[in-house]
A and B are shown apart, each in its own frame.
Chain A
Protein backbone atom coordinates (compact mmCIF):
# COMPACT_ATOMS: atom_id res chain seq x y z
CA UNK A 1 0.00 0.00 0.00
CA UNK A 2 1.83 3.15 -1.12
CA UNK A 3 1.85 5.82 1.50
CA UNK A 4 3.07 8.89 -0.25
CA UNK A 5 0.21 9.73 -2.58
CA UNK A 6 -3.13 9.76 -0.84
CA UNK A 7 -6.06 10.24 -3.21
CA UNK A 8 -8.18 12.17 -0.75
CA UNK A 9 -7.71 15.40 -2.65
CA UNK A 10 -5.26 18.26 -2.53
CA UNK A 11 -3.22 18.78 0.62
CA UNK A 12 -2.93 22.44 1.54
CA UNK A 13 -0.33 21.52 4.15
CA UNK A 14 3.02 21.12 2.48
CA UNK A 15 5.87 18.99 3.71
CA UNK A 16 8.83 20.98 2.59
CA UNK A 17 12.38 19.78 2.97
CA UNK A 18 13.37 19.67 6.60
CA UNK A 19 9.80 19.69 7.91
CA UNK A 20 9.51 16.46 9.92
CA UNK A 21 6.29 14.46 9.59
CA UNK A 22 5.98 14.49 13.38
CA UNK A 23 7.56 16.83 15.89
CA UNK A 24 6.84 17.20 19.60
CA UNK A 25 8.56 19.76 21.82
CA UNK A 26 8.29 19.86 25.58
CA UNK A 27 4.89 18.18 25.61
CA UNK A 28 3.22 18.18 29.00
CA UNK A 29 -0.21 16.98 29.93
CA UNK A 30 -1.88 17.32 33.30
CA UNK A 31 -5.21 15.95 34.47
CA UNK A 32 -5.87 18.12 37.51
CA UNK A 33 -2.91 17.64 39.82
CA UNK A 34 -1.74 14.53 37.97
CA UNK A 35 1.15 15.19 35.57
CA UNK A 36 0.89 12.40 32.98
CA UNK A 37 3.43 13.81 30.50
CA UNK A 38 6.42 15.87 31.67
CA UNK A 39 8.20 17.49 28.78
CA UNK A 40 8.32 14.88 26.02
CA UNK A 41 10.33 15.66 22.87
CA UNK A 42 10.40 13.63 19.70
CA UNK A 43 11.15 14.02 16.02
CA UNK A 44 10.09 11.43 13.50
CA UNK A 45 11.48 11.42 9.96
CA UNK A 46 9.80 9.87 6.88
CA UNK A 47 10.23 6.12 6.61
CA UNK A 48 11.37 5.83 10.24
CA UNK A 49 9.84 3.84 13.06
CA UNK A 50 10.12 4.93 16.66
CA UNK A 51 9.26 2.29 19.21
CA UNK A 52 7.65 3.61 22.38
CA UNK A 53 7.81 1.30 25.36
CA UNK A 54 6.99 1.66 29.01
CA UNK A 55 5.09 0.16 31.91
CA UNK A 56 1.34 0.50 32.32
CA UNK A 57 0.38 4.02 33.35
CA UNK A 58 3.60 5.56 32.04
CA UNK A 59 1.62 7.90 29.76
CA UNK A 60 2.00 6.11 26.41
CA UNK A 61 -1.67 6.28 25.43
CA UNK A 62 -1.95 9.90 26.55
CA UNK A 63 1.14 10.73 24.48
CA UNK A 64 -0.47 9.11 21.44
CA UNK A 65 -3.71 11.02 22.00
CA UNK A 66 -1.81 14.30 22.30
CA UNK A 67 0.21 13.56 19.15
CA UNK A 68 -3.02 12.67 17.30
CA UNK A 69 -4.66 15.93 18.39
CA UNK A 70 -7.39 14.17 20.36
CA UNK A 71 -6.14 15.64 23.62
CA UNK A 72 -4.56 19.06 24.00
CA UNK A 73 -1.09 19.38 25.47
CA UNK A 74 -1.08 21.44 28.68
CA UNK A 75 2.30 22.82 27.59
CA UNK A 76 4.62 22.33 24.63
CA UNK A 77 3.63 21.78 21.02
CA UNK A 78 2.92 19.03 18.53
CA UNK A 79 3.40 19.59 14.81
CA UNK A 80 2.49 17.23 11.99
CA UNK A 81 4.20 18.40 8.80
CA UNK A 82 4.65 21.74 10.54
CA UNK A 83 0.96 22.17 11.38
CA UNK A 84 -1.34 21.46 14.31
CA UNK A 85 -2.64 17.88 14.17
CA UNK A 86 -6.15 19.27 14.63
CA UNK A 87 -6.44 20.77 11.14
CA UNK A 88 -8.53 18.84 8.55
CA UNK A 89 -5.69 18.89 5.99
CA UNK A 90 -3.29 17.32 8.49
CA UNK A 91 -5.85 14.75 9.57
CA UNK A 92 -5.89 13.37 6.03
CA UNK A 93 -2.18 12.56 6.45
CA UNK A 94 -2.47 11.00 9.90
CA UNK A 95 -3.49 7.41 10.63
CA UNK A 96 -4.23 6.34 14.19
CA UNK A 97 -4.81 2.95 15.75
CA UNK A 98 -5.81 3.11 19.39
CA UNK A 99 -6.76 0.52 22.01
CA UNK A 100 -10.31 0.76 20.70
CA UNK A 101 -11.22 -0.21 17.16
CA UNK A 102 -13.25 2.91 16.17
CA UNK A 103 -15.63 0.46 14.46
CA UNK A 104 -19.40 0.27 14.79
CA UNK A 105 -20.50 -3.13 16.10
CA UNK A 106 -23.66 -3.26 14.00
CA UNK A 107 -21.85 -2.60 10.71
CA UNK A 108 -19.60 -4.99 8.83
CA UNK A 109 -15.87 -4.22 8.38
CA UNK A 110 -16.58 -3.25 4.74
CA UNK A 111 -19.37 -0.89 5.80
CA UNK A 112 -17.22 0.59 8.56
CA UNK A 113 -14.30 1.21 6.25
CA UNK A 114 -16.52 2.52 3.44
CA UNK A 115 -17.97 5.02 5.92
CA UNK A 116 -14.46 6.08 6.93
CA UNK A 117 -13.45 6.30 3.25
CA UNK A 118 -16.34 8.68 2.61
CA UNK A 119 -15.28 10.84 5.57
CA UNK A 120 -11.81 11.08 4.02
CA UNK A 121 -13.30 11.83 0.61
CA UNK A 122 -11.75 8.75 -1.01
CA UNK A 123 -13.01 7.59 -4.38
CA UNK A 124 -14.66 4.15 -4.74
CA UNK A 125 -15.10 3.64 -0.99
CA UNK A 126 -16.33 0.02 -1.21
CA UNK A 127 -13.49 -1.14 -3.46
CA UNK A 128 -10.92 0.74 -1.36
CA UNK A 129 -12.31 -0.84 1.78
CA UNK A 130 -12.11 -4.36 0.41
CA UNK A 131 -8.56 -3.70 -0.78
CA UNK A 132 -7.54 -2.44 2.65
CA UNK A 133 -9.16 -5.44 4.34
CA UNK A 134 -7.39 -7.77 1.92
CA UNK A 135 -4.02 -6.32 2.89
CA UNK A 136 -4.64 -7.38 6.50
CA UNK A 137 -5.88 -10.81 5.41
CA UNK A 138 -9.52 -10.10 6.11
CA UNK A 139 -11.42 -11.43 3.11
CA UNK A 140 -13.52 -13.78 5.22
CA UNK A 141 -15.56 -11.88 7.75
CA UNK A 142 -15.48 -8.68 5.73
CA UNK A 143 -19.27 -8.82 5.43
CA UNK A 144 -20.03 -10.01 8.96
CA UNK A 145 -21.14 -7.46 11.58
CA UNK A 146 -18.22 -6.48 13.79
CA UNK A 147 -19.96 -7.67 16.96
CA UNK A 148 -19.79 -11.27 15.67
CA UNK A 149 -16.07 -11.15 14.86
CA UNK A 150 -13.23 -12.41 17.04
CA UNK A 151 -10.90 -10.02 18.88
CA UNK A 152 -8.08 -10.62 16.41
CA UNK A 153 -10.31 -10.11 13.38
CA UNK A 154 -11.61 -6.82 14.80
CA UNK A 155 -8.00 -5.77 15.43
CA UNK A 156 -7.09 -6.45 11.80
CA UNK A 157 -10.14 -4.50 10.63
CA UNK A 158 -9.09 -1.61 12.88
CA UNK A 159 -5.58 -1.67 11.37
CA UNK A 160 -7.11 -1.63 7.88
CA UNK A 161 -9.20 1.39 8.91
CA UNK A 162 -6.11 3.23 10.15
CA UNK A 163 -4.28 2.56 6.85
CA UNK A 164 -7.28 3.09 4.57
CA UNK A 165 -6.50 6.68 3.53
CA UNK A 166 -2.79 5.94 3.06
CA UNK A 167 -1.53 8.19 5.84
CA UNK A 168 2.00 9.54 5.87
CA UNK A 169 2.23 9.43 9.65
CA UNK A 170 1.03 6.39 11.58
CA UNK A 171 0.43 6.37 15.33
CA UNK A 172 -0.15 2.80 16.45
CA UNK A 173 -1.08 1.71 19.96
CA UNK A 174 -0.51 -2.02 20.46
CA UNK A 175 -1.30 -3.12 16.89
CA UNK A 176 -0.33 -6.74 17.54
CA UNK A 177 -2.68 -7.29 20.48
CA UNK A 178 -4.99 -10.27 20.02
CA UNK A 179 -3.41 -11.41 16.76
CA UNK A 180 -2.38 -15.00 15.98
CA UNK A 181 1.26 -15.58 14.91
CA UNK A 182 0.32 -15.66 11.22
CA UNK A 183 -1.48 -12.32 11.48
CA UNK A 184 1.42 -10.85 13.48
CA UNK A 185 3.75 -11.75 10.61
CA UNK A 186 1.38 -10.20 8.10
CA UNK A 187 1.02 -6.93 10.06
CA UNK A 188 4.79 -6.70 10.62
CA UNK A 189 5.23 -7.18 6.85
CA UNK A 190 2.65 -4.46 6.25
CA UNK A 191 4.49 -2.11 8.59
CA UNK A 192 7.71 -2.83 6.77
CA UNK A 193 6.04 -1.93 3.45
CA UNK A 194 4.70 1.29 4.97
CA UNK A 195 8.19 2.27 6.09
CA UNK A 196 9.64 1.46 2.68
CA UNK A 197 7.02 3.75 1.14
CA UNK A 198 8.12 6.62 3.41
CA UNK A 199 5.49 6.51 6.15
CA UNK A 200 6.69 7.72 9.54
CA UNK A 201 5.53 5.32 12.27
CA UNK A 202 5.29 5.78 16.02
CA UNK A 203 4.59 2.40 17.55
CA UNK A 204 3.53 1.82 21.15
CA UNK A 205 3.86 -1.83 22.04
CA UNK A 206 4.76 -4.46 24.59
CA UNK A 207 5.59 -6.95 21.81
CA UNK A 208 9.21 -5.85 21.45
CA UNK A 209 10.57 -8.98 19.80
CA UNK A 210 8.21 -8.87 16.80
CA UNK A 211 8.94 -5.28 15.77
CA UNK A 212 12.48 -4.78 17.08
CA UNK A 213 14.11 -5.16 13.67
CA UNK A 214 11.86 -2.48 12.13
CA UNK A 215 12.68 0.18 14.72
CA UNK A 216 15.09 3.03 14.07
CA UNK A 217 14.74 4.51 17.51
CA UNK A 218 13.63 3.10 20.84
CA UNK A 219 12.15 5.27 23.56
CA UNK A 220 10.95 4.25 26.97
CA UNK A 221 8.42 6.35 28.80
CA UNK A 222 8.51 6.22 32.58
CA UNK A 223 6.44 8.46 34.80
CA UNK A 224 5.65 10.81 31.92
CA UNK A 225 9.18 11.39 30.57
CA UNK A 226 11.72 9.52 28.47
CA UNK A 227 13.91 7.33 30.62
CA UNK A 228 15.57 5.87 27.53
CA UNK A 229 15.57 7.54 24.12
CA UNK A 230 18.22 6.27 21.72
CA UNK A 231 18.80 4.71 18.28
CA UNK A 232 18.09 0.99 18.17
CA UNK A 233 21.20 -1.08 18.68
CA UNK A 234 21.96 -4.68 19.58
CA UNK A 235 19.51 -7.46 20.22
CA UNK A 236 16.11 -6.92 21.77
CA UNK A 237 16.94 -9.36 24.60
CA UNK A 238 19.87 -7.17 25.67
CA UNK A 239 17.72 -4.08 25.48
CA UNK A 240 14.97 -5.72 27.54
CA UNK A 241 17.48 -6.60 30.25
CA UNK A 242 18.73 -3.02 30.28
CA UNK A 243 15.17 -1.70 30.28
CA UNK A 244 14.29 -3.84 33.30
CA UNK A 245 17.31 -2.58 35.17
CA UNK A 246 16.49 1.01 34.21
CA UNK A 247 12.88 0.78 35.37
CA UNK A 248 13.80 -1.07 38.56
CA UNK A 249 16.45 1.49 39.32
Chain B
Protein backbone atom coordinates (compact mmCIF):
# COMPACT_ATOMS: atom_id res chain seq x y z
CA UNK B 1 0.00 0.00 0.00
CA UNK B 2 2.84 2.39 0.87
CA UNK B 3 4.55 1.49 -2.41
CA UNK B 4 1.33 2.21 -4.30
CA UNK B 5 1.00 5.58 -2.57
CA UNK B 6 4.64 6.36 -3.42
CA UNK B 7 4.11 5.59 -7.10
CA UNK B 8 0.91 7.66 -7.20
CA UNK B 9 2.80 10.59 -5.67
CA UNK B 10 5.72 10.14 -8.11
CA UNK B 11 3.39 10.22 -11.11
CA UNK B 12 1.33 13.17 -9.87
CA UNK B 13 4.50 15.11 -9.00
CA UNK B 14 5.83 14.49 -12.52
CA UNK B 15 2.61 15.83 -14.07
CA UNK B 16 2.72 18.90 -11.84
CA UNK B 17 6.38 19.49 -12.71
CA UNK B 18 5.66 19.23 -16.45
CA UNK B 19 2.74 21.63 -16.02
CA UNK B 20 4.78 24.14 -14.00
CA UNK B 21 7.41 23.98 -16.76
CA UNK B 22 4.99 24.32 -19.71
CA UNK B 23 2.05 26.16 -18.07
CA UNK B 24 -0.14 24.80 -20.87
CA UNK B 25 -3.20 23.52 -19.03
CA UNK B 26 -3.36 25.90 -16.09
CA UNK B 27 -2.90 29.12 -18.04
CA UNK B 28 -5.29 28.15 -20.84
CA UNK B 29 -7.94 26.86 -18.41
CA UNK B 30 -7.70 29.93 -16.19
CA UNK B 31 -7.84 32.37 -19.08
CA UNK B 32 -10.75 30.40 -20.53
CA UNK B 33 -12.60 30.54 -17.19
CA UNK B 34 -12.05 34.29 -16.92
CA UNK B 35 -13.31 34.80 -20.48
CA UNK B 36 -16.45 32.73 -19.85
CA UNK B 37 -17.22 34.85 -16.78
CA UNK B 38 -16.67 38.04 -18.77
CA UNK B 39 -18.93 36.85 -21.60
CA UNK B 40 -21.72 35.79 -19.24
CA UNK B 41 -21.37 39.02 -17.29
CA UNK B 42 -21.85 41.19 -20.35
CA UNK B 43 -24.27 38.89 -22.17
CA UNK B 44 -27.00 39.03 -19.52
CA UNK B 45 -29.48 41.85 -19.18
CA UNK B 46 -29.14 43.04 -15.56
CA UNK B 47 -32.63 44.57 -15.71
CA UNK B 48 -34.34 41.26 -16.45
CA UNK B 49 -31.99 38.62 -14.92
CA UNK B 50 -30.67 39.13 -11.40
CA UNK B 51 -27.03 38.05 -10.91
CA UNK B 52 -27.92 35.62 -8.14
CA UNK B 53 -30.38 33.82 -10.46
CA UNK B 54 -27.75 33.14 -13.09
CA UNK B 55 -24.61 33.01 -10.93
CA UNK B 56 -24.66 29.37 -9.73
CA UNK B 57 -25.19 27.99 -13.25
CA UNK B 58 -22.50 30.24 -14.69
CA UNK B 59 -20.07 29.23 -11.97
CA UNK B 60 -20.53 25.51 -12.64
CA UNK B 61 -20.52 25.82 -16.41
CA UNK B 62 -17.23 27.70 -16.06
CA UNK B 63 -15.77 25.12 -13.68
CA UNK B 64 -16.84 22.25 -15.94
CA UNK B 65 -15.50 23.54 -19.24
CA UNK B 66 -12.28 24.82 -17.69
CA UNK B 67 -11.77 21.38 -16.14
CA UNK B 68 -12.14 19.76 -19.56
CA UNK B 69 -9.18 21.73 -20.86
CA UNK B 70 -7.02 20.36 -18.06
CA UNK B 71 -8.28 16.78 -18.66
CA UNK B 72 -7.24 16.98 -22.29
CA UNK B 73 -3.74 17.99 -21.28
CA UNK B 74 -3.36 15.17 -18.73
CA UNK B 75 -2.98 12.38 -21.27
CA UNK B 76 -1.93 14.52 -24.24
CA UNK B 77 1.46 14.94 -22.59
CA UNK B 78 1.75 11.15 -22.37
CA UNK B 79 1.18 10.98 -26.12
CA UNK B 80 4.26 13.03 -26.98
CA UNK B 81 7.20 10.72 -27.69
CA UNK B 82 4.97 7.77 -26.67
CA UNK B 83 5.72 8.52 -23.02
CA UNK B 84 2.65 6.44 -22.14
CA UNK B 85 4.45 3.34 -23.46
CA UNK B 86 7.28 4.18 -21.08
CA UNK B 87 4.81 4.14 -18.20
CA UNK B 88 3.18 0.90 -19.37
CA UNK B 89 6.59 -0.77 -19.70
CA UNK B 90 7.54 0.15 -16.15
CA UNK B 91 6.43 -1.83 -13.07
CA UNK B 92 3.85 0.91 -12.35
CA UNK B 93 0.51 -0.81 -11.64
CA UNK B 94 -2.35 0.50 -13.80
CA UNK B 95 -4.25 1.41 -10.63
CA UNK B 96 -1.39 3.69 -9.58
CA UNK B 97 -1.44 5.21 -13.08
CA UNK B 98 -5.12 6.05 -12.66
CA UNK B 99 -4.78 7.52 -9.18
CA UNK B 100 -1.62 9.43 -10.10
CA UNK B 101 -3.37 11.04 -13.06
CA UNK B 102 -6.48 11.58 -10.94
CA UNK B 103 -4.49 13.33 -8.22
CA UNK B 104 -2.72 15.57 -10.75
CA UNK B 105 -6.03 16.44 -12.43
CA UNK B 106 -7.57 17.23 -9.04
CA UNK B 107 -4.66 19.58 -8.37
CA UNK B 108 -5.06 21.34 -11.73
CA UNK B 109 -8.85 21.68 -11.46
CA UNK B 110 -8.66 22.89 -7.84
CA UNK B 111 -6.10 25.52 -8.86
CA UNK B 112 -8.30 26.76 -11.70
CA UNK B 113 -11.31 26.84 -9.36
CA UNK B 114 -9.34 28.75 -6.74
CA UNK B 115 -8.49 31.42 -9.32
CA UNK B 116 -11.97 31.44 -10.87
CA UNK B 117 -13.96 31.88 -7.65
CA UNK B 118 -12.66 35.41 -6.80
CA UNK B 119 -13.24 36.44 -10.43
CA UNK B 120 -16.79 35.10 -10.18
CA UNK B 121 -17.40 37.13 -7.01
CA UNK B 122 -15.98 40.20 -8.75
CA UNK B 123 -17.97 39.92 -11.99
CA UNK B 124 -21.29 38.83 -10.48
CA UNK B 125 -21.01 40.96 -7.36
CA UNK B 126 -22.02 37.97 -5.24
CA UNK B 127 -21.39 38.24 -1.51
CA UNK B 128 -20.13 34.87 -0.34
CA UNK B 129 -20.16 35.80 3.34
CA UNK B 130 -20.87 32.72 5.41
CA UNK B 131 -21.52 30.63 2.30
CA UNK B 132 -17.81 30.17 1.55
CA UNK B 133 -17.18 27.02 3.68
CA UNK B 134 -20.29 25.38 2.25
CA UNK B 135 -19.30 26.39 -1.26
CA UNK B 136 -15.82 24.92 -0.77
CA UNK B 137 -17.39 21.69 0.48
CA UNK B 138 -19.82 21.30 -2.41
CA UNK B 139 -17.08 22.21 -4.89
CA UNK B 140 -14.82 19.55 -3.40
CA UNK B 141 -17.58 16.93 -3.46
CA UNK B 142 -18.68 17.64 -7.02
CA UNK B 143 -15.12 17.95 -8.32
CA UNK B 144 -13.89 14.68 -6.78
CA UNK B 145 -16.38 12.65 -8.82
CA UNK B 146 -16.25 14.42 -12.15
CA UNK B 147 -12.45 14.54 -12.18
CA UNK B 148 -12.42 10.72 -11.87
CA UNK B 149 -14.74 10.43 -14.86
CA UNK B 150 -12.72 13.03 -16.76
CA UNK B 151 -9.50 11.15 -16.08
CA UNK B 152 -10.92 7.94 -17.56
CA UNK B 153 -12.42 9.60 -20.62
CA UNK B 154 -9.26 11.58 -21.35
CA UNK B 155 -7.38 8.25 -21.32
CA UNK B 156 -9.95 6.79 -23.72
CA UNK B 157 -9.86 9.65 -26.24
CA UNK B 158 -6.12 10.33 -26.16
CA UNK B 159 -5.45 7.74 -28.86
CA UNK B 160 -8.23 8.97 -31.11
CA UNK B 161 -7.70 11.47 -33.91
CA UNK B 162 -10.07 14.09 -32.50
CA UNK B 163 -9.35 13.87 -28.78
CA UNK B 164 -10.19 17.51 -28.07
CA UNK B 165 -13.56 17.14 -29.78
CA UNK B 166 -14.41 13.70 -28.43
CA UNK B 167 -13.81 14.46 -24.77
CA UNK B 168 -16.71 16.90 -24.17
CA UNK B 169 -19.09 14.74 -26.23
CA UNK B 170 -18.35 11.64 -24.17
CA UNK B 171 -17.84 13.32 -20.83
CA UNK B 172 -20.68 15.83 -20.51
CA UNK B 173 -23.52 13.29 -20.05
CA UNK B 174 -21.66 11.85 -17.06
CA UNK B 175 -21.13 15.31 -15.57
CA UNK B 176 -24.80 16.27 -15.60
CA UNK B 177 -25.68 14.63 -12.24
CA UNK B 178 -22.93 16.25 -10.15
CA UNK B 179 -23.44 19.60 -11.89
CA UNK B 180 -27.18 19.51 -11.09
CA UNK B 181 -26.40 18.72 -7.46
CA UNK B 182 -23.69 21.37 -7.23
CA UNK B 183 -25.89 24.07 -8.82
CA UNK B 184 -28.77 23.24 -6.48
CA UNK B 185 -26.58 23.53 -3.39
CA UNK B 186 -24.77 26.63 -4.67
CA UNK B 187 -28.07 28.40 -5.43
CA UNK B 188 -29.34 27.81 -1.92
CA UNK B 189 -26.04 28.75 -0.29
CA UNK B 190 -25.87 32.04 -2.20
CA UNK B 191 -29.48 32.71 -1.17
CA UNK B 192 -28.31 32.53 2.45
CA UNK B 193 -29.78 29.10 3.27
CA UNK B 194 -27.73 27.01 5.74
CA UNK B 195 -25.70 24.02 4.61
CA UNK B 196 -27.62 21.76 6.98
CA UNK B 197 -30.64 22.04 4.64
CA UNK B 198 -28.63 20.61 1.74
CA UNK B 199 -27.85 17.20 3.20
CA UNK B 200 -29.78 15.30 0.54
CA UNK B 201 -27.83 16.89 -2.30
CA UNK B 202 -24.55 16.50 -0.45
CA UNK B 203 -25.31 12.81 0.06
CA UNK B 204 -26.13 12.51 -3.61
CA UNK B 205 -22.76 14.02 -4.52
CA UNK B 206 -21.00 11.74 -2.03
CA UNK B 207 -22.66 8.65 -3.52
CA UNK B 208 -21.73 9.80 -7.04
CA UNK B 209 -18.11 10.21 -5.90
CA UNK B 210 -17.89 6.77 -4.32
CA UNK B 211 -19.63 5.06 -7.23
CA UNK B 212 -17.68 6.73 -10.02
CA UNK B 213 -14.25 6.79 -8.38
CA UNK B 214 -14.62 3.05 -7.74
CA UNK B 215 -15.96 2.33 -11.21
CA UNK B 216 -13.25 4.42 -12.89
CA UNK B 217 -10.49 2.72 -10.89
CA UNK B 218 -11.85 -0.67 -11.98
CA UNK B 219 -12.32 0.24 -15.65
CA UNK B 220 -9.10 2.18 -16.14
CA UNK B 221 -6.60 -0.74 -16.30
CA UNK B 222 -8.51 -2.33 -19.19
CA UNK B 223 -8.14 0.83 -21.31
CA UNK B 224 -4.52 0.03 -22.09
CA UNK B 225 -4.98 -3.59 -23.05
CA UNK B 226 -3.87 -3.37 -26.66
Give A residues with C-beta under 8 Å from B: 8, 65, 68-72, 88-89, 91-92, 94, 96, 98-107, 111, 115-116, 118-121, 145-146, 161
Contact = CB atoms under 8 A, between A and B. Distances in A.
B18 A107 contact: yes
Interface stretch (B37-45, B59-67, B82-90): B82-90
B77 interface: yes
B92 A100 contact: no
Contacts, number: 77
B91 A70 contact: no
B17 A107 contact: yes
A70 B17 contact: no
A70 B89 contact: yes
Contacts of B17: 107, 111
Nearest to B91: A88
B179 interface: no
Interface residues of B, number: 26
B42 to A, nearest CB: 36
A4 B125 CA distance: 67
Interface string B169-201: 000000000000000000000000000000000
Nearest to B96: A119
A209 to B, nearest CB: 28
Given A98-B85, A104-B18, A106-B22, A119 B77 contact: no
A119 B14 CA distance: 11
B226 A91 contact: no
Nearest to A90: B91
B161 interface: no
Contact of A107 (B3, B21, B91, B225): B21
Nearest to B15: A104
